[in-house]
Amino acid sequence: MSAVNFNNSYASLPETFYTKQNAEPAPAPQWIKANTELAQALGIDTAFLTSNAGLDMASGRTAPDGSNPLAMVYAGHQFGGWSPRLGDGRALLLGEVIGTDSIRYDIQLKGSGRTPYSRGGDGKSAIGPVIREYIVSEAMAALGVPTTRALAAVTTGETVIREIPLPGAILTRVAQSHIRVGTFQYFYSQNDKASLLALANYVIDRHYPEAQNAENPVQAMYKGIVTRQAKLIALWMKFGFIHGVMNTDNCQIAGETIDYGPCAYMDTFHPMKVFSSIDQQGRYAWGKQPHMAHWNLSRLGEALMPIWGNDDDTAVAEISAELDTFSDTFNENFYAAFAQKLGLPELTQKTASFLETTFEALQNNKIDFTLFFAHLRRSHDPIYQEKFITLFETPEAAGMWLSQWDAIKAKSGITASDSQEAMDAANPIYIARNHRVEAAIQAGVAGDYKPMDDLHNILQAPFTQQSGAGDYELAPLDTEVVQQTFCGT
Protein backbone atom coordinates (compact mmCIF):
# COMPACT_ATOMS: atom_id res chain seq x y z
CA MET A 1 0.00 0.00 0.00
CA SER A 2 1.38 3.36 -0.90
CA ALA A 3 1.26 6.36 1.42
CA VAL A 4 -1.34 8.13 -0.68
CA ASN A 5 -3.87 5.90 -2.40
CA PHE A 6 -4.31 7.86 -5.57
CA ASN A 7 -7.38 6.98 -7.58
CA ASN A 8 -7.30 9.28 -10.57
CA SER A 9 -10.13 10.01 -12.96
CA TYR A 10 -9.55 13.46 -14.44
CA ALA A 11 -6.34 12.23 -16.07
CA SER A 12 -8.45 9.78 -18.11
CA LEU A 13 -10.50 12.56 -19.71
CA PRO A 14 -9.59 13.66 -23.25
CA GLU A 15 -6.32 15.50 -23.76
CA THR A 16 -8.21 18.71 -24.50
CA PHE A 17 -8.78 18.97 -20.72
CA TYR A 18 -5.22 19.44 -19.46
CA THR A 19 -1.50 19.33 -20.02
CA LYS A 20 0.40 16.64 -18.16
CA GLN A 21 3.59 17.81 -16.55
CA ASN A 22 5.61 17.68 -13.35
CA ALA A 23 6.13 20.31 -10.69
CA GLU A 24 9.29 22.36 -10.55
CA PRO A 25 11.10 20.84 -7.57
CA ALA A 26 11.56 23.30 -4.71
CA PRO A 27 15.28 23.72 -3.94
CA ALA A 28 15.12 23.75 -0.12
CA PRO A 29 11.63 23.12 1.22
CA GLN A 30 10.61 23.55 4.84
CA TRP A 31 7.37 23.00 6.63
CA ILE A 32 4.97 25.77 7.45
CA LYS A 33 2.15 23.47 8.50
CA ALA A 34 0.68 20.03 7.85
CA ASN A 35 -2.96 19.14 8.41
CA THR A 36 -2.90 15.65 9.90
CA GLU A 37 -6.61 15.67 10.76
CA LEU A 38 -7.50 16.29 7.13
CA ALA A 39 -4.96 13.68 6.04
CA GLN A 40 -6.74 11.15 8.22
CA ALA A 41 -10.10 12.03 6.69
CA LEU A 42 -8.54 11.48 3.27
CA GLY A 43 -7.04 8.14 4.21
CA ILE A 44 -3.53 9.56 3.84
CA ASP A 45 -0.92 8.13 6.19
CA THR A 46 -0.19 10.97 8.64
CA ALA A 47 3.29 9.66 9.41
CA PHE A 48 4.01 9.88 5.69
CA LEU A 49 2.56 13.38 5.37
CA THR A 50 4.74 14.78 8.14
CA SER A 51 7.87 12.93 7.00
CA ASN A 52 10.52 14.12 4.57
CA ALA A 53 8.75 12.14 1.87
CA GLY A 54 5.60 14.13 2.64
CA LEU A 55 7.60 17.34 2.45
CA ASP A 56 8.97 16.23 -0.93
CA MET A 57 5.41 15.70 -2.19
CA ALA A 58 4.15 19.02 -0.82
CA SER A 59 7.07 20.89 -2.39
CA GLY A 60 6.92 19.26 -5.82
CA ARG A 61 10.27 17.51 -5.38
CA THR A 62 8.84 14.08 -6.03
CA ALA A 63 5.63 13.02 -7.68
CA PRO A 64 4.41 10.27 -5.34
CA ASP A 65 3.53 6.80 -6.62
CA GLY A 66 0.14 6.78 -8.23
CA SER A 67 0.02 10.51 -8.89
CA ASN A 68 -0.39 11.80 -12.43
CA PRO A 69 0.36 15.53 -12.32
CA LEU A 70 -1.47 17.77 -14.76
CA ALA A 71 -2.44 21.39 -15.28
CA MET A 72 -6.15 21.87 -15.98
CA VAL A 73 -7.32 24.23 -18.69
CA TYR A 74 -10.17 26.69 -18.17
CA ALA A 75 -11.30 30.14 -19.27
CA GLY A 76 -13.24 32.80 -17.44
CA HIS A 77 -14.77 36.21 -17.06
CA GLN A 78 -12.53 38.22 -14.76
CA PHE A 79 -14.21 41.36 -13.43
CA GLY A 80 -16.60 41.07 -16.35
CA GLY A 81 -13.89 40.85 -19.04
CA TRP A 82 -13.49 37.65 -21.04
CA SER A 83 -10.23 35.67 -20.88
CA PRO A 84 -10.38 32.87 -23.45
CA ARG A 85 -7.66 30.79 -21.81
CA LEU A 86 -6.65 30.81 -18.16
CA GLY A 87 -5.97 27.38 -16.69
CA ASP A 88 -3.69 26.26 -13.88
CA GLY A 89 -0.91 28.79 -14.36
CA ARG A 90 0.77 27.93 -11.09
CA ALA A 91 -1.03 24.83 -9.92
CA LEU A 92 -0.96 21.12 -10.67
CA LEU A 93 -3.49 18.44 -9.94
CA LEU A 94 -1.45 15.59 -8.46
CA GLY A 95 -4.37 13.21 -8.53
CA GLU A 96 -7.43 12.18 -6.56
CA VAL A 97 -8.09 10.17 -3.42
CA ILE A 98 -11.29 8.72 -2.03
CA GLY A 99 -11.91 10.09 1.47
CA THR A 100 -13.19 8.08 4.41
CA ASP A 101 -16.56 9.75 3.62
CA SER A 102 -16.41 7.97 0.21
CA ILE A 103 -16.16 11.32 -1.58
CA ARG A 104 -13.51 11.78 -4.27
CA TYR A 105 -11.08 14.64 -3.58
CA ASP A 106 -8.47 16.42 -5.69
CA ILE A 107 -4.98 16.88 -4.28
CA GLN A 108 -3.49 19.98 -5.87
CA LEU A 109 -0.23 21.86 -5.50
CA LYS A 110 -0.58 25.62 -5.79
CA GLY A 111 2.63 27.53 -6.47
CA SER A 112 4.53 24.63 -8.04
CA GLY A 113 5.94 26.36 -11.11
CA ARG A 114 5.11 27.43 -14.62
CA THR A 115 2.73 25.56 -16.91
CA PRO A 116 1.51 26.20 -20.47
CA TYR A 117 -1.20 28.36 -18.83
CA SER A 118 1.13 30.66 -16.91
CA ARG A 119 0.94 33.51 -19.45
CA GLY A 120 3.26 36.19 -18.02
CA GLY A 121 3.31 34.73 -14.49
CA ASP A 122 6.13 32.95 -12.70
CA GLY A 123 4.00 29.98 -11.65
CA LYS A 124 4.92 30.56 -8.02
CA SER A 125 3.19 31.67 -4.84
CA ALA A 126 4.54 33.96 -2.19
CA ILE A 127 4.22 32.88 1.42
CA GLY A 128 1.54 35.46 2.30
CA PRO A 129 -1.27 34.13 0.10
CA VAL A 130 -0.39 30.57 1.13
CA ILE A 131 -0.74 31.44 4.83
CA ARG A 132 -3.96 33.36 4.13
CA GLU A 133 -5.51 30.48 2.21
CA TYR A 134 -4.48 27.96 4.85
CA ILE A 135 -5.98 29.96 7.72
CA VAL A 136 -9.11 31.21 6.00
CA SER A 137 -10.08 28.01 4.19
CA GLU A 138 -9.67 25.95 7.35
CA ALA A 139 -11.64 28.58 9.29
CA MET A 140 -14.43 28.34 6.71
CA ALA A 141 -14.55 24.58 7.11
CA ALA A 142 -14.85 24.98 10.89
CA LEU A 143 -17.75 27.39 10.35
CA GLY A 144 -19.47 24.68 8.33
CA VAL A 145 -19.19 26.45 4.97
CA PRO A 146 -18.41 24.25 1.95
CA THR A 147 -14.83 25.02 1.00
CA THR A 148 -11.61 23.74 -0.44
CA ARG A 149 -9.21 22.68 2.33
CA ALA A 150 -5.53 23.05 3.12
CA LEU A 151 -3.55 19.83 3.55
CA ALA A 152 -0.08 21.34 3.74
CA ALA A 153 1.89 24.55 3.41
CA VAL A 154 5.62 24.67 2.79
CA THR A 155 8.23 27.22 1.89
CA THR A 156 10.30 26.41 -1.18
CA GLY A 157 13.64 27.97 -0.30
CA GLU A 158 13.23 30.26 -3.30
CA THR A 159 12.59 33.98 -3.41
CA VAL A 160 9.69 35.18 -5.51
CA ILE A 161 9.38 38.75 -6.67
CA ARG A 162 6.07 40.50 -6.02
CA GLU A 163 6.02 44.18 -4.99
CA ILE A 164 9.07 43.12 -2.99
CA PRO A 165 11.11 39.89 -2.84
CA LEU A 166 9.32 37.33 -0.67
CA PRO A 167 9.79 33.72 0.40
CA GLY A 168 8.20 31.33 -2.10
CA ALA A 169 5.67 28.80 -0.83
CA ILE A 170 3.33 26.03 -1.98
CA LEU A 171 -0.11 25.17 -0.66
CA THR A 172 -1.46 21.65 -1.02
CA ARG A 173 -5.12 22.23 -1.68
CA VAL A 174 -7.89 19.67 -1.38
CA ALA A 175 -11.19 20.12 -3.23
CA GLN A 176 -14.14 18.03 -4.30
CA SER A 177 -12.79 19.02 -7.70
CA HIS A 178 -11.23 22.02 -9.39
CA ILE A 179 -13.84 22.22 -12.14
CA ARG A 180 -15.15 25.74 -12.51
CA VAL A 181 -17.80 27.59 -14.50
CA GLY A 182 -14.77 28.67 -16.54
CA THR A 183 -14.00 25.04 -17.44
CA PHE A 184 -17.37 24.78 -19.23
CA GLN A 185 -16.84 28.22 -20.74
CA TYR A 186 -13.52 27.12 -22.19
CA PHE A 187 -14.98 24.27 -24.25
CA TYR A 188 -18.03 26.36 -25.17
CA SER A 189 -15.82 29.13 -26.52
CA GLN A 190 -13.74 26.57 -28.43
CA ASN A 191 -16.92 25.21 -30.05
CA ASP A 192 -15.78 21.84 -28.74
CA LYS A 193 -19.10 20.12 -28.18
CA ALA A 194 -17.55 16.70 -27.61
CA SER A 195 -15.41 17.95 -24.72
CA LEU A 196 -18.32 19.94 -23.32
CA LEU A 197 -20.41 16.79 -23.23
CA ALA A 198 -17.58 14.74 -21.74
CA LEU A 199 -17.17 17.40 -19.04
CA ALA A 200 -20.89 17.43 -18.24
CA ASN A 201 -20.96 13.64 -18.00
CA TYR A 202 -17.93 13.70 -15.74
CA VAL A 203 -19.46 16.37 -13.49
CA ILE A 204 -22.76 14.51 -13.28
CA ASP A 205 -20.99 11.31 -12.39
CA ARG A 206 -18.72 12.91 -9.80
CA HIS A 207 -20.82 15.68 -8.25
CA TYR A 208 -24.46 15.29 -9.24
CA PRO A 209 -25.13 11.55 -9.58
CA GLU A 210 -28.83 12.16 -8.86
CA ALA A 211 -29.00 13.95 -12.25
CA GLN A 212 -28.16 10.75 -14.08
CA ASN A 213 -31.73 9.47 -14.06
CA ALA A 214 -33.38 12.79 -14.84
CA GLU A 215 -35.17 13.31 -18.12
CA ASN A 216 -32.55 15.89 -19.04
CA PRO A 217 -29.39 15.15 -17.00
CA VAL A 218 -27.68 18.37 -18.12
CA GLN A 219 -30.64 20.40 -16.88
CA ALA A 220 -30.70 18.47 -13.60
CA MET A 221 -26.97 19.08 -13.17
CA TYR A 222 -27.48 22.80 -13.81
CA LYS A 223 -30.30 22.86 -11.28
CA GLY A 224 -27.98 21.29 -8.72
CA ILE A 225 -25.18 23.77 -9.40
CA VAL A 226 -27.57 26.74 -9.13
CA THR A 227 -28.91 25.41 -5.82
CA ARG A 228 -25.48 24.79 -4.30
CA GLN A 229 -24.24 28.25 -5.31
CA ALA A 230 -27.32 29.95 -3.87
CA LYS A 231 -26.84 28.14 -0.57
CA LEU A 232 -23.12 28.89 -0.53
CA ILE A 233 -23.55 32.63 -1.05
CA ALA A 234 -26.16 32.74 1.74
CA LEU A 235 -23.61 31.10 4.05
CA TRP A 236 -20.90 33.57 3.07
CA MET A 237 -23.22 36.43 3.92
CA LYS A 238 -24.27 34.82 7.19
CA PHE A 239 -20.69 35.10 8.39
CA GLY A 240 -19.91 38.48 6.78
CA PHE A 241 -17.58 36.90 4.27
CA ILE A 242 -16.57 38.76 1.15
CA HIS A 243 -14.94 36.58 -1.48
CA GLY A 244 -13.46 39.46 -3.43
CA VAL A 245 -12.86 37.76 -6.80
CA MET A 246 -16.08 36.10 -7.88
CA ASN A 247 -14.86 35.60 -11.41
CA THR A 248 -16.32 32.68 -13.34
CA ASP A 249 -12.99 30.84 -13.03
CA ASN A 250 -13.34 31.08 -9.25
CA CYS A 251 -16.89 29.74 -9.22
CA GLN A 252 -16.54 26.04 -8.48
CA ILE A 253 -18.99 23.53 -9.91
CA ALA A 254 -19.18 21.35 -6.79
CA GLY A 255 -20.30 24.39 -4.78
CA GLU A 256 -17.27 24.90 -2.56
CA THR A 257 -15.68 28.24 -1.75
CA ILE A 258 -12.50 28.39 -3.82
CA ASP A 259 -9.64 30.81 -4.29
CA TYR A 260 -8.92 32.82 -1.18
CA GLY A 261 -7.30 35.85 -2.81
CA PRO A 262 -8.35 39.27 -1.62
CA CYS A 263 -11.08 37.86 0.59
CA ALA A 264 -12.02 38.90 4.12
CA TYR A 265 -14.72 38.85 6.75
CA MET A 266 -16.05 42.34 7.15
CA ASP A 267 -15.51 44.12 10.41
CA THR A 268 -17.70 47.26 10.41
CA PHE A 269 -20.92 46.45 8.63
CA HIS A 270 -21.59 48.03 5.28
CA PRO A 271 -23.45 46.23 2.51
CA MET A 272 -21.16 47.74 -0.11
CA LYS A 273 -17.96 46.73 1.65
CA VAL A 274 -15.28 45.42 -0.72
CA PHE A 275 -11.82 44.06 -0.03
CA SER A 276 -10.05 43.94 -3.31
CA SER A 277 -8.00 47.00 -4.15
CA ILE A 278 -8.62 46.30 -7.83
CA ASP A 279 -12.39 46.14 -7.32
CA GLN A 280 -12.94 49.88 -7.64
CA GLN A 281 -16.54 49.55 -8.77
CA GLY A 282 -17.63 47.48 -5.79
CA ARG A 283 -18.52 44.70 -8.19
CA TYR A 284 -17.95 42.00 -5.58
CA ALA A 285 -19.20 43.84 -2.45
CA TRP A 286 -20.78 41.82 0.39
CA GLY A 287 -24.32 42.73 -0.65
CA LYS A 288 -23.70 42.19 -4.35
CA GLN A 289 -22.52 38.61 -4.06
CA PRO A 290 -25.91 37.01 -4.87
CA HIS A 291 -26.15 39.18 -7.95
CA MET A 292 -22.65 38.21 -9.07
CA ALA A 293 -23.20 34.50 -8.48
CA HIS A 294 -26.37 34.76 -10.54
CA TRP A 295 -24.39 36.44 -13.31
CA ASN A 296 -21.75 33.69 -13.21
CA LEU A 297 -24.46 31.04 -13.35
CA SER A 298 -26.05 32.66 -16.36
CA ARG A 299 -22.64 32.41 -18.09
CA LEU A 300 -22.71 28.70 -17.20
CA GLY A 301 -26.20 28.34 -18.66
CA GLU A 302 -24.98 29.94 -21.86
CA ALA A 303 -22.05 27.50 -22.03
CA LEU A 304 -24.42 24.53 -21.65
CA MET A 305 -26.63 25.55 -24.59
CA PRO A 306 -24.91 23.32 -27.17
CA ILE A 307 -25.44 20.20 -25.06
CA TRP A 308 -28.82 21.07 -23.56
CA GLY A 309 -30.44 18.73 -26.04
CA ASN A 310 -33.32 20.89 -27.15
CA ASP A 311 -33.93 23.55 -29.76
CA ASP A 312 -32.44 26.90 -28.79
CA ASP A 313 -35.70 28.58 -27.79
CA THR A 314 -36.67 25.75 -25.49
CA ALA A 315 -33.15 25.59 -24.06
CA VAL A 316 -33.14 29.34 -23.34
CA ALA A 317 -36.52 29.09 -21.64
CA GLU A 318 -35.46 26.10 -19.54
CA ILE A 319 -32.12 27.66 -18.57
CA SER A 320 -33.87 30.89 -17.54
CA ALA A 321 -36.37 28.94 -15.49
CA GLU A 322 -33.58 27.12 -13.62
CA LEU A 323 -31.70 30.36 -13.11
CA ASP A 324 -34.84 31.99 -11.73
CA THR A 325 -34.80 29.51 -8.84
CA PHE A 326 -31.54 31.09 -7.62
CA SER A 327 -33.30 34.03 -5.92
CA ASP A 328 -35.80 31.86 -4.08
CA THR A 329 -33.16 29.43 -2.86
CA PHE A 330 -30.84 32.24 -1.87
CA ASN A 331 -33.57 34.20 -0.05
CA GLU A 332 -34.83 31.15 1.76
CA ASN A 333 -31.36 30.31 3.03
CA PHE A 334 -30.36 33.90 3.72
CA TYR A 335 -33.47 34.62 5.78
CA ALA A 336 -33.24 31.31 7.61
CA ALA A 337 -29.63 32.10 8.49
CA PHE A 338 -30.38 35.57 9.79
CA ALA A 339 -33.42 34.38 11.70
CA GLN A 340 -31.09 31.94 13.43
CA LYS A 341 -28.53 34.67 14.09
CA LEU A 342 -31.26 36.76 15.73
CA GLY A 343 -32.63 33.84 17.73
CA LEU A 344 -35.95 33.87 15.90
CA PRO A 345 -37.82 30.81 14.66
CA GLU A 346 -38.10 32.05 11.09
CA LEU A 347 -38.09 35.31 9.24
CA THR A 348 -41.54 35.81 7.80
CA GLN A 349 -42.27 38.68 5.44
CA LYS A 350 -43.10 40.84 8.45
CA THR A 351 -40.03 40.03 10.48
CA ALA A 352 -37.89 40.45 7.36
CA SER A 353 -38.44 44.17 7.75
CA PHE A 354 -36.90 43.82 11.21
CA LEU A 355 -33.81 42.46 9.52
CA GLU A 356 -33.74 45.60 7.36
CA THR A 357 -33.98 47.66 10.56
CA THR A 358 -31.11 45.62 11.99
CA PHE A 359 -28.90 46.18 8.94
CA GLU A 360 -29.71 49.90 9.11
CA ALA A 361 -28.79 49.98 12.79
CA LEU A 362 -25.53 48.17 12.06
CA GLN A 363 -24.70 50.57 9.26
CA ASN A 364 -25.78 53.82 10.97
CA ASN A 365 -23.94 52.96 14.18
CA LYS A 366 -20.90 51.60 12.31
CA ILE A 367 -21.07 48.34 14.22
CA ASP A 368 -18.75 45.38 13.84
CA PHE A 369 -20.81 42.64 12.16
CA THR A 370 -19.40 39.68 14.10
CA LEU A 371 -19.32 41.39 17.49
CA PHE A 372 -22.94 42.46 17.12
CA PHE A 373 -24.13 38.87 16.91
CA ALA A 374 -21.48 37.41 19.23
CA HIS A 375 -22.41 39.86 21.98
CA LEU A 376 -26.11 39.42 21.29
CA ARG A 377 -25.95 35.68 21.89
CA ARG A 378 -24.29 36.32 25.27
CA SER A 379 -26.50 39.29 26.20
CA HIS A 380 -28.19 37.29 28.98
CA ASP A 381 -24.91 38.01 30.80
CA PRO A 382 -24.90 41.66 32.00
CA ILE A 383 -21.24 42.04 30.99
CA TYR A 384 -22.07 41.21 27.39
CA GLN A 385 -25.31 43.16 27.46
CA GLU A 386 -23.19 46.18 28.37
CA LYS A 387 -20.71 45.38 25.59
CA PHE A 388 -23.58 45.00 23.16
CA ILE A 389 -25.03 48.39 24.09
CA THR A 390 -21.61 50.01 23.74
CA LEU A 391 -21.44 48.91 20.11
CA PHE A 392 -24.10 51.53 19.31
CA GLU A 393 -23.38 55.22 19.07
CA THR A 394 -25.84 55.95 21.88
CA PRO A 395 -27.46 53.77 24.58
CA GLU A 396 -30.83 55.02 23.28
CA ALA A 397 -30.15 53.57 19.83
CA ALA A 398 -29.24 50.24 21.45
CA GLY A 399 -32.31 50.36 23.68
CA MET A 400 -34.57 51.01 20.73
CA TRP A 401 -33.19 48.06 18.80
CA LEU A 402 -33.31 45.76 21.84
CA SER A 403 -36.94 46.57 22.60
CA GLN A 404 -37.94 45.81 19.03
CA TRP A 405 -35.99 42.56 19.20
CA ASP A 406 -37.70 41.57 22.45
CA ALA A 407 -41.12 42.34 20.98
CA ILE A 408 -40.47 40.30 17.83
CA LYS A 409 -39.15 37.37 19.84
CA ALA A 410 -42.12 37.44 22.21
CA LYS A 411 -44.56 37.55 19.30
CA SER A 412 -42.81 34.66 17.57
CA GLY A 413 -43.44 32.40 20.55
CA ILE A 414 -39.93 30.93 20.47
CA THR A 415 -38.74 29.61 23.83
CA ALA A 416 -35.72 31.23 25.45
CA SER A 417 -33.71 28.05 25.17
CA ASP A 418 -34.52 27.51 21.48
CA SER A 419 -33.64 31.11 20.78
CA GLN A 420 -30.35 30.75 22.63
CA GLU A 421 -29.53 27.51 20.88
CA ALA A 422 -30.15 29.08 17.47
CA MET A 423 -27.90 32.05 18.20
CA ASP A 424 -25.13 29.91 19.70
CA ALA A 425 -25.01 27.78 16.56
CA ALA A 426 -25.12 30.68 14.08
CA ASN A 427 -22.98 33.40 15.62
CA PRO A 428 -19.25 32.71 15.74
CA ILE A 429 -17.19 34.40 18.40
CA TYR A 430 -14.00 34.04 16.39
CA ILE A 431 -13.56 34.70 12.70
CA ALA A 432 -10.39 35.03 10.64
CA ARG A 433 -10.21 38.77 11.10
CA ASN A 434 -8.21 40.44 8.41
CA HIS A 435 -5.82 42.25 10.77
CA ARG A 436 -5.07 38.95 12.53
CA VAL A 437 -4.47 37.17 9.24
CA GLU A 438 -2.17 39.98 8.13
CA ALA A 439 -0.25 39.77 11.43
CA ALA A 440 0.14 36.00 10.96
CA ILE A 441 1.42 36.65 7.43
CA GLN A 442 3.89 39.32 8.56
CA ALA A 443 5.27 36.96 11.20
CA GLY A 444 5.35 34.10 8.68
CA VAL A 445 7.36 36.15 6.22
CA ALA A 446 9.91 36.54 9.01
CA GLY A 447 9.88 32.77 9.65
CA ASP A 448 7.71 32.82 12.79
CA TYR A 449 4.61 30.63 12.41
CA LYS A 450 3.37 30.90 15.99
CA PRO A 451 0.85 33.68 15.29
CA MET A 452 -0.48 31.56 12.41
CA ASP A 453 -0.73 28.46 14.60
CA ASP A 454 -2.39 30.34 17.46
CA LEU A 455 -4.95 31.94 15.17
CA HIS A 456 -5.59 28.68 13.34
CA ASN A 457 -6.13 26.77 16.59
CA ILE A 458 -8.68 29.26 17.91
CA LEU A 459 -10.55 29.26 14.60
CA GLN A 460 -11.03 25.50 14.83
CA ALA A 461 -13.82 26.09 17.38
CA PRO A 462 -15.29 29.39 16.20
CA PHE A 463 -18.58 29.11 18.10
CA THR A 464 -17.04 28.18 21.47
CA GLN A 465 -15.82 30.83 23.86
CA GLN A 466 -12.21 29.93 24.67
CA SER A 467 -10.37 31.07 27.77
CA GLY A 468 -7.47 33.39 27.13
CA ALA A 469 -8.66 34.12 23.58
CA GLY A 470 -10.46 37.38 24.35
CA ASP A 471 -8.19 39.45 22.13
CA TYR A 472 -9.06 37.33 19.12
CA GLU A 473 -12.68 38.45 19.37
CA LEU A 474 -11.84 42.09 19.06
CA ALA A 475 -12.45 44.25 16.03
CA PRO A 476 -9.34 45.98 14.72
CA LEU A 477 -8.35 49.31 16.21
CA ASP A 478 -8.43 52.15 13.69
CA THR A 479 -4.69 51.76 13.31
CA GLU A 480 -5.02 48.00 12.71
CA VAL A 481 -7.61 48.10 9.94
CA VAL A 482 -6.17 46.52 6.84
CA GLN A 483 -6.93 49.12 4.20
CA GLN A 484 -6.39 47.02 1.13
CA THR A 485 -5.96 43.41 0.32
CA PHE A 486 -4.04 43.12 -2.89
CA CYS A 487 -4.76 40.62 -5.55
CA GLY A 488 -0.99 40.24 -5.90
CA THR A 489 -1.05 36.56 -5.14
> Which amino acid, one-letter code, is at 483?
Q
Q: Tell me how far, at minimum, the Cβ of 434 lies from Mg ion, in Å.
A: 20
> Which amino acid, one-letter code, is at 383?
I
Q: Which is nearer to Mg ion, 8 or 250 (CB)?
A: 250
Within 342-391, residue ranges assigned H as helices are 349-364, 369-377, 382-390
What distances in angstroms separate CA 343 from CA 2, 101, 406, 425, one per listed residue? Answer: 49, 32, 10, 10
Q: Which is nearer to ligand AMP, 257 or 379 (CB)?
A: 257
Contacts with ligand AMP by CB under 6 A: the residue count is: 17
Q: Does 296 bind Mg ion (CB under 5 A)?
A: no
CB 176, CB 106: distance < 8 Å: yes
Q: Tell me how far, at minimum, the Cβ of 108 lies from ligand AMP, in Å.
A: 11
Return the CA Rg of the chain. 23
Site residues (CB under 6 A) for ligand AMP, limited to 220-279: 245, 249-250, 259, 261
What distances in angstroms separate CA 174 from CA 162, 164, 256, one per listed residue? Answer: 26, 29, 11
Q: Tell me how far, at minimum, the Cβ of 91 lies from Mg ion, in Å.
A: 9
Q: Does 87 bind ligand AMP (CB under 6 A)?
A: yes
Q: Which is nearer to ligand AMP, 114 or 273 (CB)?
A: 114
Q: Does 118 bind ligand AMP (CB under 6 A)?
A: yes
Q: Tell me how far, at minimum, the Cβ of 196 lies from ligand AMP, in Å.
A: 20
Enumerate helices (H) and strands (E) in the chain, giving the number of each: 17, 12
Q: Which stretch binds Mg ion (CB under 5 A): 190-198, 208-216, 236-244, 249-257?
A: 249-257
CB 117, CB 91: distance < 8 Å: no
Q: Which stretch binds Mg ion (CB under 5 A): 157-165, 204-212, 248-256, 367-375?
A: 248-256
Classify residue 117 by its DSSP letter: T
Q: Tell me how far, at minimum, the Cβ of 263 lies from Mg ion, in Å.
A: 12
Q: Which stretch binds Mg ion (CB under 5 A): 1-9, 202-210, 231-239, 254-262?
A: 254-262
Residues 6+ apart with CB under 8 A from 86: 74, 75, 76, 78, 117, 182, 249
Q: Does 250 bind Mg ion (CB under 5 A)?
A: yes
| CA 236 to chain CA centroid, nearest Å | 8
Q: Which of 249, 267, 279, 368 is catalytic?
A: 249
Q: Which residue from 122, 205, 418, 454 is in contact with ligand AMP, where contact means CB under 6 A?
A: 122
Q: Which residue from 124, 149, 207, 436 is in contact with ligand AMP, where contact means CB under 6 A?
A: 124
Classify residue 257 by its DSSP letter: B
Q: Which is nearer to Mg ion, 59 or 148 (CB)?
A: 148
Residues 6+ apart with CB under 8 A from 471: none
Contacts with Mg ion by CB under 5 A: the residue count is: 2
Please tell me the distance from the alpha carbon of residue 63 to that of residue 314, in angstroms, as a whole number. Answer: 48
Query: Which of 192, 196, 217 has the alpha carbon at shortest distance from 207?
Result: 217
Binding partner of residue 121 among ligand AMP, Mg ion, none, CB cut-off 5 to 8 Å per kind: ligand AMP
CB 243, CB 236: distance < 8 Å: yes
Active site annotation includes 406: no
Q: Which residue from 54, 60, 69, 123 is in contact with ligand AMP, where contact means CB under 6 A?
A: 123
What number of CA atoms fall less than 13 Å from residue 326's CA on the CB side? 24
Q: Which is nearer to ligand AMP, 90 or 173 (CB)?
A: 90
The contact set with ligand AMP (CB under 6 A) reads 86-90, 117-118, 121-124, 245, 249-250, 259, 261, 489
Residues involved in catalysis:
249
The contact set with Mg ion (CB under 5 A) reads 250, 259
